[in-house]
Amino acid sequence: MRSPGNAPSALLALEHIAKHFGRVDALVDASLQARPGTVHALLGENGAGKTTLMRIAFGELRPDSGATRVGGKAVQLASPADALARGIGMVHQHFTAVPAMTVAENVALASGTRGRFRPVEARARVAELCEEVGFTLDPDAVAAGLSVGMQQRLEIVKALARGARVLILDEPTAVLAPAEAEDLLAMLRRFASRGNAAVIITHKLHEALSVADDITVLRHGRTTLSTLATGTDAEQLTVAMLGESSDVAVPRRGSAARTADEVVIETHDLVLTDDRGVTRVRGVTLGVRAGEILGVAGVEGAGQHELLRALAGRLKPTAGSLRTPERIGFVPADRHRDALVLDFTLAENVALAGAGAARGRMRWPAIERRTGELLSRYGIVASGVRAPASSLSGGNQQKLVLARELDGAPHALVAENPTRGLDIAATAALQRHLLDARDAGMAIVLYSSDLDEVLALADRLVVMFEGRATEVTLDREAAGRAMLGAA
């Protein structure tokens, strides 16, 4: 394998970094060199140490050993402020804007403006920075009202305002629609072409291969591959990420025709409004049959979030008719906010489903037994049924949610981004469970922001655009067009 660049020319070089948290070795021997003029992809499974390595690069964490060089000079980054002062900026998965402030105010705040706040200059600065990297962002928009994609742009502008020459982005495309993701990646290319470097953390192989110049792969805290993107392929990257013996099966789509099966979920001219009274779904008519997976696709905010909640019986229709079965499972997109009580035990979290309808006493011994069965049946790694949910890894938390929602064989299951943020092995396990449930005759509605996942699992596909649903063929191009409103 070739090593891209040589140390002195790298804008940012991390050499043989080790870092442990308690008894866990997050990083053992990780190295990465971000050359000027390149987009660099940092690949790895969940827990491989990608984010830890980048937090060290951003001065949020101190390495146990190893060297950090900025522009060839050895440095010890004491804090993010220190990193920013040296031209290293980072965009986290969770955004850090002040919701009540405008874009221009947020940028001024981040760039450490002292003394008087000059709105005109602040606005001009935002326009100038946007121009530089080639995207648009309204300086007067209030941060709280921005879409996720726009919030991400704001975070990038904030970093640029501090004069960042190395921009680190943690899973930047995870929250974006395909078109938005393409815009972002084009923007990063443009940023890099001015002699800067962008490092994106990702676990999407095709993204790394199509966008990056250089690729670094981490596995169990070690750099297992460091190469030019042109000098590698998906197979080599997979091996570097998972090790030689990886036998992760990609689920195959089922084929059985099921037109005769019973329609379990049915809507007619369904209209839905969100918490703020904004109409999100404008007249959707669809049916989901037993034994099929209805895939839903759509760009962020197209109404799929509300549609899924309604189909799961969690949101009342504003108008139109909605028929859902009595027993229906729901896997919401944000498990920490909507699915789990992190301080509760696993058994208590299992009991949470149906808590609203429960009467009388809680039969804890029985609930704990059932939880134990679910843990073994779904291969959930936990220290016991009384362990707090917060002690589980993200993948195991999500498996617990799915296990709970599938427990008791409900008639239908609605899942919103069930594999987001999970590593390849956990994703495959979850997808297998979904397919098993379908084959057992359950009606399943699946939304994923990863269009390829929907295409791989769904039997039929509807695409949401501006609150309306269109059924399209299971075809990447057709779906992509429909997501942008071009039917």
Partner 1 sequence: MSWLRRAAIVALISSLALTALWLALHLAGLDATRALAALWDGSFGSAYALTSSTLVRATPLILTGLAVAIAFRAGVWNIGAEGQLLAGAATAAAVGLFATPASGALTVVVALAVGALAGALWAWIAAYLRNRFGVLEVISTIMLNFVALYAVGYLVRGPLQEPTHIYPQSEPLPALAQLPRLIEGSRLHWGFVLAVVAAPVAWWVLRHTAAGFRVRAVGQNPGAARVAGMVDVQRTTMGVFLVSGALAGLAGAIELTGVTFALYENVSPGYGYTAIAVALLAGLDPLGVLATGLLFGALEAGALSMQREAAVPAVVVNVVEALLVLLVLAVAKWRGGSAMLARLAGAGSGAGEDGSTPAGGRGGTGRENVGPGAQPSGDKRVGAAG
240-279 residues near partner 1, rule: CB under 8 A: 274-276
Contact segment (CB under 8 A) with partner 1 among 89-97, 105-113, 255-263, 284-292 equals 89-97
Q: For partner 1, give the closer residue by CB, 93 or 470.
A: 93
Question: Token pair 């549609």 is at which residue?
Answer: 307
Could you say whether residue 462 binds partner 1 (CB under 8 A)?
A: no
Could you say whether residue 420 binds partner 1 (CB under 8 A)?
A: yes
- Reported in sequence order, the residue ranges of 171-276 that DSSP labels E, i.e. its strands, are 197-202, 214-219, 222-228, 263-273
Q: For partner 1, give the closer residue by CB, 437 or 472.
A: 437
Residue 81 near residue 65 (C-beta atoms within 8 A): no
| Among residues 23, 94, 114, 116, the one that binds partner 1 under rule CB under 8 A | 94
| Among residues 78, 81, 100, 234, the one that binds partner 1 under rule CB under 8 A | 100
Q: 52: buried, middle or exposed (CB in 10 Å: 19+, 13-18, 0-12)? A: buried
Q: How far is the CB of 328 from partner 1 (least distance, A)?
A: 10
Could you say whether residue 52 binds partner 1 (CB under 8 A)?
A: yes
* Of 61, 57, 64, 69, nearest in space to 19 by CA: 64
Q: How far is the CB of 228 from partner 1 (least distance, A)?
A: 22
| Among residues 146, 293, 322, 463, the one that binds partner 1 under rule CB under 8 A | 146
DSSP state for residue 48 in the 8-state scheme: S
Contact segment (CB under 8 A) with partner 1 among 159-167, 190-198, 334-342, 431-439 equals 334-342
Q: Rounded to 5 degrees, what angle do the CA atoms 209, 214, 218 make?
A: 85
Number of residues that bind partner 1 (CB under 8 A): 75
Quote the CA–CA distance of 431 and 437 in Å, as a whole number: 10
Q: 204-243: which residues touch partner 1 (CB under 8 A)? A: 218
Q: 343-402: which residues touch partner 1 (CB under 8 A)? A: 343-344, 348, 351-362, 364, 393-395, 397-398, 401
Could you say whether residue 332 binds partner 1 (CB under 8 A)?
A: yes
Quote the CA–CA distance of 237 and 215 in Å, as a whole number: 9
Q: 8: buried, middle or exposed (CB in 10 Å: 19+, 13-18, 0-12)? A: exposed
Q: For partner 1, give the closer residue by CB, 246 or 390.
A: 390
Q: For partner 1, give the closer residue by CB, 281 or 472.
A: 281
In three-state secondary structure terms, 387 is coil
Question: Token pair 């809680």 is at which residue?
Answer: 362
Quote the CA–CA distance of 7 and 68 in Å, as a whole number: 11
| Among residues 69, 190, 314, 481, the one that binds partner 1 under rule CB under 8 A | 314
| Among residues 66, 132, 147, 268, the one that binds partner 1 under rule CB under 8 A | 147
> How many residues would you count in the chain?
487
Question: Token pair 């090790």 is at which residue?
Answer: 243
| Among residues 130, 156, 164, 174, the one that binds partner 1 under rule CB under 8 A | 174
Quote the CA–CA distance of 126 and 346 in Å, as a whole number: 47
Q: For partner 1, give the closer residue by CB, 26 or 288.
A: 26
* Of 306, 338, 334, nearest in space to 322 by CA: 306
Q: For partner 1, give the closer residue by CB, 404 or 433.
A: 404
* Of 70, 65, 72, nearest in space to 88 by CA: 70
| Among residues 201, 297, 380, 461, the one that binds partner 1 under rule CB under 8 A | 201
Contact segment (CB under 8 A) with partner 1 among 115-123, 171-179, 224-232, 439-447 equals 171-179
